[in-house]
Structure formats: C-alpha cells, structure tokens
Amino acid sequence: MTFRHKHLLGIEPLHPEEIGTVLDLADRYAEMNRRENKHGDALAGMTQVNMFFENSTRTQSSFELAGKRLGADVMSMSMQTSSVKKGETLIDTAVTLNAMHPDLLVVRHPHSGAVDLLSEKVNCAVLNAGDGRHEHPTQALLDALTIRRAKGRLHRLNIAICGDIAHSRVARSNILLLHKMENRVRLVGPPTLMPAGVADWGVEIYHDMREGLADCDVVMMLRLQRERMDGGFIPSEREYFHRFGLDAEKLGYARPDAIVMHPGPMNRGVEIDGLIADDLTRSVIREQVEMGVAVRMAAMDLLARNLRAGRAAAPVLA
Amino acid sequence: MTQTAPPRPTLLHNARLIDPETGHDGPGAVLIEGGTIAACLPGPLPEGEFGGAERVDCRGACLAPGIVDIGVKVGEPGERHKESFRSAGLAAAAGGVTTMVTRADTRPAIDTPEVLSFALRRAAEVSPVRIAPMAALTKGREGREMTEIGFLRDAGAVAFSDGDQVVADTKVLSRALSYARSLGALVMGHVQEPVLSRGAAATSGKFSSLYGIPAVSPMAERMGLERDLALVEMTRAAYHVDQITTRAALPALLRAREAGLDVTAGISIHHLTLNEFDIAGYRTFFKVKPPLRAEEDRAAMVEALAAGHIDVIGSMHTPQDEESKRLPFEAAASGAVGLETLLPASLRLYHAGHIGLPRLFAALSLNPARRLGLEGGRLSQGAPADLVLFDPDAPYVLDRETLQSKSKNTPFDGQRMQGRVLGTFVNGIRVFSR
C-alpha cells in the first residue's frame, strides 16, 4: 500500500497506485459506515479544523462526519464571517490556526492556488476541499469510487462530463483522475462553458448532447451556477435545458447500463430532469454522497499515518 | 545629485566599446570632460595623448551608453514604503540605468504640474541617476478628462500615459491624442481590450485553464493595439506602445509603420525571457501585466526585437511589498522589480545568440532616448557622459536580498545570471562601482 503525500492538494500529483490505495481503504470505510457502530480510531486524539472561505453545506458536513467517525476533534469555521472580513490575510489566518496545533486542515477557498499557498505555511496535513476553479480532489475520488463500485472497474470506460466545464474544479480533478486511470473522457457543453485551450487536454469535445453521450458508460452532470444562467454564458435556462439538460431522451443515446452522476446540489429542470435524478436504476447521485464520507475518511486516515510517521522520524520539541 | 561637475578630464581606456549608433563593438576608449563625452575613440589609443586626463583602465570590460529605462514605477508620492527615489536611484545605478523614465501611476497620480515638480524635486535631492518623468494622460488616470498636457510638458514631462490603466473611452483618447499632437507630445499606450481582459491574471490556454486562473486571450492585446493605431492614424499623434508581447499584435504594428505613422513599440525584459509556464506553482512574483505569454509568443518577440520591429526594452520596474504578493495568485498584485536585472537578463538574449550588443543597446539606451528627445543613449562627442561599464560574462546566482530596491519582488531570484555591472557614470560622475 502506498500513499506518499503530506497533503492532499489535488489529483495532479497522485500516482494511479495511490488513487487505488485511497479507494481500497474507502471501500472498507464504506462498509463500516453501513454498520451500526460507525466508530474507528484512526484519528483518535487528533484535531481537525475545517476552514471554508466559501459557502458549503455538503462538503463541509461530509468532512465533519468523516473526522468524527474516526475519532478526531472537529472544529468547523465559517471564514466568511470571521477575521477575514476584518482584513486578516490568508497567511496570517493560517499562522494563527497553526499555533493551535491542528493535525488536519480542510480548506475551501474561492481562489485557485490558495490552498497550496496555505499548505506552505502550516505544519499539519492540508486537504483541499476546493480551490477556485483549480481542483477538488476528494470529489474526484468519491466519483471514482462510485464508478468503480457501480461498473466493477475504473479503466477503459467512456465517460462524458457535461455542462459548465469552464468554471468547474470538479471537472478538472475528474479529468485528471480519469485520465490517470486510463479512461476516455468526453466533455459536452456549449462552447461558452468550455475552458480555453481545452483542445489540448486530451479529451474529446462535443457541443451536442446526443453525439456526446453516444455509447457512454458514465454520464457526469455538472451544476450550472445561477449567476451564469442569464445571457452571459447561455441565452436562457430553458434553452440550456432543451439543448444540454439530461432527460430520458438524451440519456437514451448512452449505453443502456450507463450510470448518471451529479456532484450536487442539483438544479432540477436546468441541467438534469428530476425523473432521471430520482431513477435509482440509473442515478448514483445518493451513492456519491455516501462515498463522499468514506473517501474523506480514507484520505484523512492516510494523511494522518504519514503525519505520524513523519513525526516519529523527526520529533519536534514543544 | 546629478549636477556636480567632475574635477578633471577622465579617460576610460582599454574598454570594449559598444556603440549603438555606429554599430561598433570593439576596443576603444572614451574621454569624459565636464560631464559630457569629449571624445569617443574606437580602435587603439594614440600614444602619449590625453596626458592630463585621469586614466581609468576598464580591463577589457564593455563600455556602453547608460540605459534609459522607460516605465519605472517609483512609489513617490504615496507608496514610499515600496520604493523611494533614493532606493530606486540606487537600484538603477547598480543596474547600469542612468535615466529612469518614471511612471505616473503613483498615489496621487502625477497629473498636475505641482505633483510633477514635487517628484522632480525629490528625485534631484536623493537619486544618483537622472529622472525623466512621464505624466498621466487623463486626470487621476480615470480616463475621463485629459490632463494639462501643455503645463506638464513645460514642467518636464517627457511622455503622457495612464500606465496600465487603459483609456477605455475612445472619444476621450482621440481628443487627448489630437491635443497632444498639437504640442508634439508623445503618448504612451497600454494595449489591452479592457473588458475582455478584466480580472485576468494569466494568458488563456491549456496551462492557465488547468491551473484554474482567470485568463485573457492574447487577442485582447491586438484589439487594444488596433484601436489605438486607428486613433493615431486619425489624429497623427506620436505614439509609443508600452509593451507589445504577442504574435497576434505584431502585424498591426508593422502595418502602422509602413503607413508612415509615428509609432514605436517597447517590451519588458520579462516578456523576452520568461513565459507562461513560469507561473507554475502559483508563483506570484511572475504575475505581471500583461501576463506572461506562450513560449511561441516570447520567441516571436525576441525575433521582432532582433529585426528592429520592437524599438525599446524596459524593465517595467514595479515594486510590490511582500504583503501584496503573498496572496493567492489572482488576488496578488501584479508587477516585478527590474532595474537591477534588466541588463543581466537582457544579456541572456546576447548569450543565446539572438542579438548583438550594439543592437541590444540600441533598444536599451539609444532608441528610448531618441524617442523621448533626450540627449543620452549615445557615445558620440557632446553627449552626456552617462555610461555603463559591465562584464558581459560574469556568472552569479541572483539573491533577491542583495537588491537595492526596497521591494524584492524579482522573478529572477535564485536564477543563474550572466553579466554584471561594474560601474555606472552619470554626468561624468561614477555613481556605482563594483
């Protein structure tokens, strides 16, 4: 078993074998989470601090639950209302927190690269819970676990990622991970929601859902942010749903056993038809949420092991 | 600090003269007298002459006209903690820059003759090198009303520019250009389509997309340039592009030249020696304006410089304190200090075989001086004795803490450099020696 990193800042630095390590361990935690006694002790005695500089309910509570189930003391700080408003810089906040000796720091920030910057200034393990439009590694890992459990493998699959690719860190992390595991990735969406230079990413690009979904094993829908709906990037919500919203007719072009995924929260009737989202024969959206907790437990467990090993190798006075 | 006259004639001999005017690159000597160049003597020195002069043996080092650096930001008034005239002047002297052509994007902006006189007075008191100030083109650099171009010119402004603030209102710019034209004043433009480039911190492409950094297409530079050149054609004003950095924008520049418009162009040394990949790891010291470009663009700009299509290389010296750089990439301030690294970084182009030294010094010294109507930038008789003596080959690793600038935000920290300034002369006085 290998996992060599001090932090989980993105999918980009991970080796395929390390991705496998996280998923294998997460599988075990997924089983544990279904038992009545959900308690482990992998993080016993450790302090986990969640710093969310951007609103989040799902990811934050998922990390919270993951930490608590493994026995950590968990504190969540909503940075929107804290000292950041008083002008404290990100680094000062990090240094202040660091003085409280956390072991795990979970950070979400609206600026790409902010979590990397913060990780250089603290001596605990840092987990990126989403930075700007850069990466959201635990989301990609939970998606991977969900796919692996549903399809029985995580390679040689045709996977379509649909919607607002340009502004999505979920898409970036997923593309990186799925490529590392040797899958074919297609991006489907209007050109206004495609990032610049996307043609060089080694993906196939479609501006038509029917063509893009043809023979796909996995259909991954992305959330369209409200503020992008009016005129700026797409003409209107209804035209978007008509052309790019996932409904039964468009899904009909994918493989009959294709699964449907969504990182949530969903805009029913915008990017996805409610009927599809609720169709348990196709949709694995609820399983994604479940795997989220398991994957975060696994990631924090592995980082905690490395943290302990590092401390044993170089004991710190104080 | 630049007024004192030297005591007696000085002969700088045993030098490798770099004369951008004649293209001479070879042994020679320069005689300085009374703050001016009394004689430029290429070739072997005649025996027994200049007996009365103090002799300085250059030991074969290069002697070239001092650099005239267009676009230096000094933090006075308003941001003296980032850079003062004293610290900027010391940095310039250490970098072989003998004239700093200062920017108007101070706080407040240099947009009245009073603020301009303040800056000139401060500079005269504390800077060891010359200052040629630019003034804002519009009041407060807000792009609404033109400044008192006439008064500012009388007070010493050598060019008019709102810095990296694009005058978005085309009517305002066209009026400012035609008014400037009536006075023969030079207008310097920052070419960017302002709406397209809003919020951008990198050049759009595969790399910035993967890093999730808001980015702008290189096409925004062409749009900005095309608009400004159309206005120049309309008004016939004298116009200088502060930085041209993309292939997409070059044809417009060449067309304007062929059409006989009074247009010149510059580029920052950073865009000639660095590319977009340098921002990897979200290194904010590489965040500049316009953003670093693709390698293909960088290479094309080096070619355009060697071909003479780009006239001027500058440092775009922009001091920023640690606080404004130690932020997430998109929130961090733009700009890099460059006065002390301009020459060694430029020598990379020479060592790579892209450009000869006379041509390099045309871009660093002669062309900017000519464009601004300054006397320096030349080695000819009667020119001011503003000179730089340097060893083009001396290798060293740059340590940003050794910089004279108050701000240490250089992208070259820890990098191997080749070429070092040994001495700087302003008005015949040695203001720096190593």
pLDDT of residue B304: 98
With respect to residue B19, please indicate whether it lies within any of the assigned structural domains: no
Q: Is the pLDDT assigned to residue A26 strictly greater than 70?
A: yes
**Minimal C-alpha gap between A12 and chain B (Å):** 10
How much is the mean pLDDT over chain A? 93
**Minimal C-alpha gap between A134 and chain B (Å):** 4
Question: Is B327 in CB contact (< 8 Å) with chain A?
Answer: yes
Please name every residue paired with B336 in a beta bridge, in sequence order, or none if there are none. B317
Report in angstroms the alpha-carbon separations of B20 from B267, B302, B379: 18, 18, 8
How, if at all, do strands B387-397 and B416-426 pair? Answer: antiparallel
With respect to residue B356, please indicate whether it lies within any of the assigned structural domains: yes
Average pLDDT over residues A293-311: 96
**What is the rounded distance in angstroms from the CA atom of residue A72 to the CA atom of residue A92?**
25
Count of CB atoms situated within 10 Å of the CB of A174: 30
Report in angstroms the alpha-carbon separations of A294 from A84, A180, B415: 31, 21, 45
Q: Is the pLDDT assigned to residue A82 strictly greater than 60?
A: no
Catalytic residue among A108, A148, A172, A282: A108
pLDDT of residue A117: 93
* Contact indicator for B88, B127 with CB cutoff of 8 Å: yes
Residues of the domain holding B172: 66-372
The residue type found at A233 is: F
Residues B17-40 pLDDT 10s: 999 999 999 999 999 999 999 999
Q: Torsions phi, psi of A129, nearest 5?
A: -100, 25
- B86 three-class SS: helix
Q: Is A101 an annotated catalytic residue?
A: no
**Minimal C-alpha gap between B278 and chain A (Å):** 15
Closest by CA position to B42, among listed B56, B31, B29: B29
Q: Check residue B231 and report its DSSP letter.
A: H
Q: Could you tell me the pLDDT band of residue A84, with boundaries at 50, 70 and 90?
A: low
Q: Which two structure tokens, joined as six digits, stand for B267?
A: 């580029």
Interior angle at CA B354, CA B350 and CA B355, nearest 5: 60
Q: Do B330 and A111 touch (CB under 8 A)?
A: yes
**What is the rounded distance in angstroms from the CA atom of residue A118 to the CA atom of residue A126?**
8
Continuous segment of H or E residues that includes residue B377: none
* Binding-face residues of A in 64-103 toward B, CB within 8 A: 89-91
- Choice between A91 and B414, residue whose per-residue pLDDT is larger: B414
Q: Could you tell me the pLDDT band of residue A78, with boundaries at 50, 70 and 90?
A: confident
* Contact indicator for B242, B161 with CB cutoff of 8 Å: yes
* Contact indicator for A229, A270 with CB cutoff of 8 Å: yes
Nearest CA in chain A to B202: A196
Q: Is the pLDDT assigned to residue B52 strictly greater than 90?
A: no
Could you list the residues of A known to form a binding site for carbamoyl phosphate, using ranges.
Answer: 58-59, 108, 136, 139, 264-265
Average pLDDT over residues A214-241: 87
Q: Could you tell me the pLDDT band of residue A318, with boundaries at 50, 70 and 90?
A: very low
Residues B155-209 pLDDT 10s: 999 999 999 999 999 999 999 999 999 999 999 999 999 999 999 999 999 899 9
Question: Is B330 in CB contact (< 8 Å) with chain A?
Answer: yes
Instruction: Write out chain B residues lying below 8 Å of A116, CB-based.
Output: 281-282
The three-state DSSP-derived secondary structure of B166-188 is CCCCHHHHHHHHHHHHHHCCEEE
Continuous segment of H or E residues that includes residue A184: strand A184-188
Q: How many helices (H) and strands (E) does chain B have?
A: 13, 18
Q: Is A226 an annotated catalytic residue?
A: no
Q: Which two structure tokens, joined as six digits, stand for B341?
A: 């690294």
pLDDT of residue A87: 64
Question: Is A268 in CB contact (< 8 Å) with chain B?
Answer: no
- B164 three-class SS: coil
Q: Do A90 and B327 touch (CB under 8 A)?
A: yes
ipTM score of the complex?
A: 0.86
With respect to residue B312, please indicate whether it lies within any of the assigned structural domains: yes
* Contact indicator for B53, B9 with CB cutoff of 8 Å: yes
**What is the rounded distance in angstroms from the CA atom of residue B289 to the CA atom of residue B277?**
15
Average pLDDT over residues B388-405: 97
As a whole-number percent, the residues of chain B with pLDDT over 90 amount to 95
Average pLDDT over residues B56-65: 97
Nearest residue, CB atoms, B331 vs list A111, A195, A200: A111
Q: Is the pLDDT assigned to residue A232 strictly greater than 90?
A: no
pLDDT of residue B322: 92
Nearest residue, CB atoms, A109 vs list B217, B281, B328: B328
pLDDT of residue B46: 78
Residues B344-364 pLDDT 10s: 999 999 999 999 999 999 999
Residues 6 or more apart whose Cβ sits within 8 Å of residue B228: B173, B189, B191, B239, B241
pLDDT of residue A230: 62
Q: How many domains does chain B have?
A: 1
Rounded (10°) angle between helices A285-313 and A137-151: 120
Q: Is A59 an annotated catalytic residue?
A: yes
The residue type found at B210 is: L
Q: Is the pLDDT assigned to residue B218 strictly greater than 80?
A: yes
Q: Torsions phi, psi of B132, nearest 5?
A: -120, 105
Question: Is B206 in CB contact (< 8 Å) with chain A?
Answer: yes
Q: Is A57 an annotated catalytic residue?
A: no
As a whole-number percent, the residues of chain A with pLDDT over 90 amount to 82
**Minimal C-alpha gap between A276 and chain B (Å):** 31
Nearest CA in chain B to A196: B205
**What is the rounded distance in angstroms from the CA atom of residue B399 to the CA atom of residue B307?**
33
Q: Is the pLDDT assigned to residue B105 strictly greater than 90?
A: yes
Q: Is the pLDDT assigned to residue A144 strictly greater than 80?
A: yes
Could you list the residues of A known to form a binding site for L-aspartate, using ranges.
Answer: 86, 169, 223
Bond before A265 cis per omega within 30 degrees: yes
Nearest residue, CB atoms, B328 vs list A90, A166, A172: A90
How much is the mean pLDDT over chain B? 96
**What is the rounded distance in angstroms from the CA atom of residue A192 to the CA atom of residue A166?**
8
Instruction: Write out chain A residues lying below 8 Å of B328, CB-based.
Output: 90, 109, 111-114, 117, 132
Average pLDDT over residues A144-172: 97
Average pLDDT over residues A209-227: 93
- B232 three-class SS: helix
Question: Is B323 in CB contact (< 8 Å) with chain A?
Answer: yes
Instruction: Write out chain B residues lying below 8 Å of A117, CB-based.
Output: 282, 326-328
* Binding-face residues of A in 183-222 toward B, CB within 8 A: 195-198, 200-201
* Contact indicator for B204, A194 with CB cutoff of 8 Å: no
CATH number of the structural domain spanning residue B362:
3.20.20.140
Q: Is the pLDDT assigned to residue A102 strictly greater than 60?
A: yes
Q: Is A86 an annotated catalytic residue?
A: yes
Average pLDDT over residues B374-387: 96
Extract long-range pairs of B83-87: CB within 8 Å, 24+ residues apart. B83/B319, B83/B337, B83/B405, B83/B406, B83/B407, B84/B126, B84/B406, B85/B119, B85/B122, B85/B123, B85/B125, B85/B126, B85/B127, B85/B131, B86/B126, B86/B127, B87/B404, B87/B405, B87/B406
Residues 6 or more apart whose Cβ sits within 8 Å of residue A20: none
**What is the rounded distance in angstroms from the CA atom of residue A153 to the CA atom of residue A156?**
8
Residues B61-98 pLDDT 10s: 999 999 999 999 999 999 999 999 999 999 999 999 99
As a whole-number percent, the residues of chain A with pLDDT over 70 amount to 94
Instruction: Write out chain B residues lying below 8 Å of A132, CB-based.
Output: 212-213, 328, 330
Report in angstroms the alpha-carbon separations of B355 from A170, A281, A296, B151: 46, 68, 56, 40
Nearest CA in chain A to B218: A196
Q: Is the pLDDT assigned to residue A109 strictly greater than 70?
A: yes
* Contact indicator for A113, A136 with CB cutoff of 8 Å: no
Question: Is A164 in CB contact (< 8 Å) with chain B?
Answer: no
Q: Could you tell me the pLDDT band of residue A86, with boundaries at 50, 70 and 90?
A: low
Bond before B368 cis per omega within 30 degrees: no
pLDDT of residue A93: 85
Q: Do A89 and B326 touch (CB under 8 A)?
A: yes
Question: Is B211 in CB contact (< 8 Å) with chain A?
Answer: yes
**Minimal C-alpha gap between A25 and chain B (Å):** 28
Q: Is the pLDDT assigned to residue B259 strictly greater than 70?
A: yes
With respect to residue B352, please indicate whether it lies within any of the assigned structural domains: yes
Beta-sheet strands, E only, within B47-124: 54-57, 62-65, 67-72, 97-102
Average pLDDT over residues B2-21: 84
